[in-house]
Amino acid sequence: MASNEECTIGKEPVSELMLEKALEKLKIEVTDRIEKDNKQNLDEITDRLSLIESSISKLLKLNETAQKSNDDSMKEPVDEPTVQSENATKVASKISKRFKLKHVFKNVSKFKENVEQYSEKEDHYNTNWSMGVVRLNKHLGFYVHCEPITPADNWSIRTKLYFKVIGPNQNDVIKTWEFCYETSQGFGFLKFLDWKGMEKCYLVDGNLTVEVNGEIIETAGLGKEKIRKFDESQKDVSDVILVVKDTKFYVSKMFLASQSLVFKALLLGNFSESQQSEVTLNGIDPDDFHSFLEVLYGESAINDSNVEGVSLLADMYDAPTAIRRCEEFLLEKSKKKLEKKLEIAARFNLDKLKEKCL
């Protein structure tokens, strides 16, 4: 017969001491699990706050660099070959309109004099971009062609372009040019490289690899018809003015804060901007920003001409409703090519769109 200090479960006697040890072990396991889950949740919250803080920091720094960018844009094109490090060539960024073109021209030595060769057109921010090369006066000419997809009578696209001929021995040649396109034609360098030197040092199996990293600094005349007004007529229902380039947007702090974590921190947090009646936002396009605000305010403002620009702003300002509407448009209505949709999905983490494209 078991003593008073033992009980029986099935056929095996279990002492009170064993039960206490088992219970203590279970408590430890449960406590460890709770602490682990809490730590994971805390880490996720910390990462989220760090991301928001980083986004706001980038936005504020744009104010400091905007004037320098405007001054630099007036400089003459750099016409000296340079070798750039891997880090320096990574110009892609989520806080500005940047794109990359790359193409391999084949059988270059057989190119005829003054006969232009083109890469395929690529759609970036509602504009078709392509590269061209030409054999001209014993030199390699290299240029970029720009053509808005949406027709406009008077338009302009101010760009900064990094032209690159990729060598087989990390001897890349890079030249930089800032230019304002106002017509649909190509601009660049007529004498990018000496032709014989190019054949000797840069051809691989007779082929030439070229690349252009582009940044759209400013556009004009490409905006679509406005659905909603954010001008001075909205003054009585607004409590802050957002200034983008020369355009003022009269909006509500509380409404923007409810739509965007970045705006919530910037306009209602401990930043100096939260106490200002006017807040300047640099480095963004006013037409895209108008469409972005229309989406936040519930308008059906997304189309193929602005979806990439609105996605950029929705991602930058951490606005989940705008991001979702951009993804829904790309899934259901957009006529963009599959490759372009996949590019946008990858850049802005649109998982449903990415899954459908793949």
Identify the segments of the chain with pLDDT beneath 50. 1-14, 62-63, 65-94
Domain boundaries, given as residue ranges, for the chain? 97-220, 232-357
State residue 34's pLDDT score: 60
Domain 232-357 has CATH 3.30.710.10: yes
What per-residue string of b and e applies to 163-195 under the rule 16 or more CB within 10 Å gives b? bbbbbeeeebbbbbbbbebeeeebbbbeebbeb
Name the β-bridge partners of 146.
Answer: 129
Residues 115-147 have pLDDT tens digits of 999 999 998 888 899 999 999 999 999 999 999
Amino acid at 42: L
What whole-number distance in Å separates Cα of residue 322 and Cα of residue 303?
13
State residue 282's pLDDT score: 83
State residue 219's pLDDT score: 85
Residues 6+ apart with CB under 8 A from 154: 220, 221
State residue 340's pLDDT score: 87
Residues 6+ apart with CB under 8 A from 272: none
DSSP state of 53: H
> So what's the architecture of 97-220 in CATH?
Sandwich (2.60)
State residue 269's pLDDT score: 84
State residue 151's pLDDT score: 66
- The beta-strand segments (E) located in the chain are 6-9, 12-15, 97-105, 117-118, 122-123, 127-136, 139-148, 156-166, 173-181, 186-194, 208-220, 240-244, 247-251, 278-280
What whole-number distance in Å separates Cα of residue 167 and Cα of residue 199?
11
What whole-number distance in Å separates Cα of residue 62 and Cα of residue 58?
6
Nearest alpha carbon to residue 283 among 106, 54, 98 = 98
What whole-number distance in Å separates Cα of residue 268 and Cα of residue 166?
48
CB-side neighbour CA atoms (13 Å) of 284: 31
